């Protein structure tokens, strides 16, 4: 008996080119094929099947959700090829399956497995359930070199999981992504994470923080304690800020903040953002020790600093509790949404402590936090 095949892949995996190549190979052997496409896919014309390489040909049959396929149209046919099968209804998928059984003709369906919300399309779901053979057409992630498994929706610089499932004629909005890059760019509304909270909370009803530690400063490199002194970015720090900006450029943020200290503001600007400075996000005020060489300071005090001890206190400066109080007071004013914050190692470590972890970031990296549910979502390095 002939088989029903489902060949799926992420956006840009050359599925349509593969289909057209298979059609050409059959015809070079003197065999006949029928090409089917959903009528809803009218990007290049109601009857045109076209790949991104420019190859195209007319479909023999365009189907709607309630189309009845006439067996007479398949007399003498050696293979049926279906493009954009994810848009087909279960009703049509059942008929394609029946063609393999009743007419002994192989049917090869090409399409996406999941939409930009990581959910199966109707046609893809039924094919996953019915197909005799399921094969992946592989491609690499648009943002890195890992294998793409999802499709991400980009619009006006952001990444989205809302809107209509089908948005034809807008291929530039979608990119193939691996799991890691999908999560890094989606943030709030991440369908891979939200289902796990179990609290009935809508994903958009939480505050998500992307906390970026500023780039390395000349003072960091010289081992000068830099609390609220006017430290300046080193050449490495400038590159770190630019690098993190490249990784953040496709992520949508509801607002962007920074510490009022110049190294944080400058890091945000080099990353391509115009932040709103917030005084509560400043680094620790180290009092009498601010701006001093770290090796010259009392060793017991340095140990408490590195350990981030609860009883840590700078002479004429701030304690851990002081910083926690002012940072938390600001974060608790934020409305649900995704926020990018350029700040400092001590501030980020304080926030992490509030979530039950002790996390010290390297310069030019980020910690992603669900502030509402007090959860660490990941890192960006």
Phi and psi torsions of 160, nearest 5°: -130, 150
The question of whether 318 is a catalytic residue gets the answer no
Structure tokens at 51: 């790949």
End-to-end Cα, the chain, rounded Å: 52
Residues 185 and 319: their CA atoms lie apart, in Å, by: 35
Structure tokens at 314: 């700078």
Structure tokens at 251: 């992520």
Which entry of 27, 39, 84, 246 is annotated as an active-site residue? 84
Sheet with 158-160: strands ordered across: 158-160, 150-155, 174-177
Residue pair 369/208 in contact (Cβ under 8 Å)? The answer is yes
Give CA angle at 147 (145, 153), nearest 5°: 90
156 contact partners, CB below 8 Å, separation of at least 6: 252
Give CA angle at 61 (60, 63), nearest 5°: 160
DSSP class of 81: E
Residue pair 192/185 in contact (Cβ under 8 Å)? The answer is no
Residues 111 and 7: their CA atoms lie apart, in Å, by: 7
Partnered with residue 284 across adjacent β-strands are none
Residues 92 and 98: their CA atoms lie apart, in Å, by: 10
Closest C-alpha to 234, from 282, 266, 203: 266
The backbone region for 153, taken as left when phi is positive above 0, alpha when psi lies in -120 to 50, beta otherwise, is beta
24 contact partners, CB below 8 Å, separation of at least 6: none
Structure tokens at 112: 């996406």
Task: Cite the active site residues.
Answer: 84
């Amino acid at each position: 008996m002939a088989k029903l095949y489902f060949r799926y892949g992420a956006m840009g995996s050359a599925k349509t080119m593969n289909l057209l190549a298979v059609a050409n190979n059959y015809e070079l052997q003197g065999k006949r094929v029928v090409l089917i496409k959903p009528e809803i896919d009218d990007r290049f014309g109601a009857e045109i099947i076209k790949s991104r390489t420019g190859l195209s040909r007319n479909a023999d049959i365009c189907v709607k959700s309630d189309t009845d396929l006439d067996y007479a149209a398949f007399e003498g046919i050696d293979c049926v090829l279906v493009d954009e099968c994810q848009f087909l209804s279960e009703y049509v998928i059942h008929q394609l399956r029946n063609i393999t059984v009743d007419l002994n003709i192989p049917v090869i369906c090409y399409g996406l497995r999941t939409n930009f919300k990581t959910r199966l399309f109707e046609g893809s779901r039924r094919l996953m359930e019915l197909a005799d053979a399921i094969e992946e057409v592989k491609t690499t992630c648009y943002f890195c070199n890992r294998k793409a498994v999802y499709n991400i929706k980009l619009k006006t610089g952001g990444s989205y999981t809302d809107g209509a499932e089908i948005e034809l004629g807008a291929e530039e909005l979608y990119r193939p992504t691996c799991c890691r890059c999908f999560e890094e760019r989606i943030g709030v509304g991440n369908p891979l994470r939200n289902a796990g909270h179990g609290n009935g909370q809508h994903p958009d009803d939480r505050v998500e923080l992307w906390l970026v530690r500023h780039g390395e400063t000349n003072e960091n490199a010289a081992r000068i304690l830099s609390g609220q002194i006017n430290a300046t970015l080193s050449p490495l720090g400038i590159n770190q800020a630019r690098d993190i900006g490249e990784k953040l450029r496709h992520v949508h943020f509801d607002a962007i903040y920074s510490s009022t200290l110049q190294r944080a503001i400058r890091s945000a600007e080099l990353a391509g953002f115009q932040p709103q400075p917030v005084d509560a996000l400043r680094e620790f005020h180290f009092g009498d020790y601010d701006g001093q060489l770290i090796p010259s300071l009392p060793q017991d005090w340095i140990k408490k600093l590195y350990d981030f001890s609860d009883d840590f206190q700078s002479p004429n400066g701030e304690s851990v509790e002081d910083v926690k109080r002012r940072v938390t007071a600001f974060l608790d004013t934020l409305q649900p949404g995704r926020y990018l914050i350029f700040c400092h190692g001590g501030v980020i470590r304080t926030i992490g402590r509030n979530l039950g972890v002790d996390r010290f970031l390297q310069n030019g990296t980020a910690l992603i936090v669900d502030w509402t549910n007090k959860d660490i979502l990941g890192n960006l390095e």
